[in-house]
Amino acid sequence: MSLRSPLRHVTGLGSARGGASHWYAQRVTAIALALLGLWLFFSFATLGGATHGRVVEWLSSPLSSALAVLLVLTAAWHAMLGLQVVIEDYVADKGTRAAVLIAVKFALVVAAVVGVLAVLRIAFGAAA
């Protein structure tokens, strides 16, 4: 007798599981990033000689800080989904794979939090 009943074989183990939502989220974040990436490119282009003051002035406008927060979050999410697939494809050992996946997710979440806090500090005038 085991704590684990045969039920685990029939619940949540279909071929798709979370695959469809992973696939869909990858595409939706891709479309968002194409737009946000172009925004970042044109912003850099118009910044000219970017002194600290000019960068702060640009990033502290409501539109820029909103788009910057969206860019940081969407990029982290898209990278997380993409790196997950790459790691699952190339890291064969189950234990190593789980460890690498968790480490990558931690790193991306930490980076995203640092990025969002940085934008908020700039937006609320703490960077001047």
Partner 1 sequence: MAQRARPLSPFLQYRWQYTNTLSILHRITGVLLSLGFFLLIYWLAAVAGGPERYARALETLLSWPLQLVLFGSAFAFCYHLLNGIRHLFFDMGHGFELATARKSAYATAAGAVALALLVWWVARAGLGGVA
73, 83, 100, 101: residue in contact with partner 1 (rule CB under 8 A): 83
Among candidate residues 47, 105, 102, 53, the one with its CA nearest the CA of residue 76: 105
Q: Which region, judged by CB under 8 A, interacts with partner 1, from 7-15, 94-102, 113-121?
A: 113-121
Its sign, for the CA torsion 48, 50, 51, 55, is positive
51, 66, 102, 106: residue in contact with partner 1 (rule CB under 8 A): 51
Q: Which region, judged by CB under 8 A, interacts with partner 1, from 7-15, 47-55, 93-101?
A: 47-55
C-alpha distances (whole Å) from 47 to each of 39, 59, 115, 120 are 12, 11, 20, 20
Nearer to partner 1, 101 or 108 (CB): 108
Nearer to partner 1, 91 or 111 (CB): 111
What residue has token string 């480490």? 103
Its sign, for the CA torsion 12, 14, 18, 24, is negative
SS3 125: coil
Among candidate residues 121, 24, 123, the one with its CA nearest the CA of residue 77: 24
User: Restricting to residues 4-43, which ones interact with partner 1 according to CB under 8 A?
Assistant: 27, 30-31, 34, 37, 41
Q: How many residues bind partner 1 (CB under 8 A)?
A: 41
Residues that bind partner 1 in the complex, under the rule CB under 8 A: 27, 30-31, 34, 37, 41, 44-53, 55-56, 59, 68, 72, 75-76, 79, 82-83, 86, 107-108, 111-112, 114-115, 117-119, 121-122, 126-128
